Amino acid sequence: MRWTRLLVVVLSLAFTSGLVLYSVQAKSECTSAHDLEQGAPALCRGVLFPRDWALQAIACVQLDLPQAEAERASAMAGEADCQNTMRSLQTAYESHLTEYEKLTRRAAGLSHKPWYESPILWFGVGLAGGVGVAVLLRQ
């Protein structure tokens, strides 16, 4: 019976010391950044990375607002120039297309004259004018 008690006491001490050691090693989740030297134990558990990496990441993220504003203004001016160029190219394309259509119609013999250049119209105007003059003179 003594051996049994001794065995129970030893096992309970081993179990409790294991729990104490585990609780010391089990660290809580990191809630803030900690500066660590290489080889030093971490104060908490979570994602850890070297300080140089963090400083490099901060340098990459930092934004120079005046420079960014100047770049934005430059980009907007460049875009306005591109828009003006596109408008002028569109106008030139449309005028060339109109001239090409006229030349094609003329070459094919399909030239279409406006209604006011029609010989039938002017024949009718002349006829109506002559009849009008004749009526006026007859009276």
82-113 pLDDT, tens digit per residue, is 999 999 999 999 999 999 988 888 888 776 67
pTM: 0.34
Q: CA angle, corner 21, sides to 15 and 26, nearest 5?
A: 120
Helix, strand and coil in the chain, % to nearest 5: 75, 0, 25
Structure tokens at 1: 């019976």
**8 A C-beta contact, residue 43 and residue 27:** yes
Contacts of range 47-54, beta carbons closer than 8 Å, 24 or more positions apart: none
37-74 pLDDT, tens digit per residue, is 777 777 776 666 667 777 787 777 777 778 888 888 99
Sequence-distant (≥ 6) Cβ neighbours of residue 36 within 8 angstroms: 42, 43, 48, 51
Share of the chain above pLDDT 70, in %: 70
d(C-alpha 64, C-alpha 71), whole Å: 11
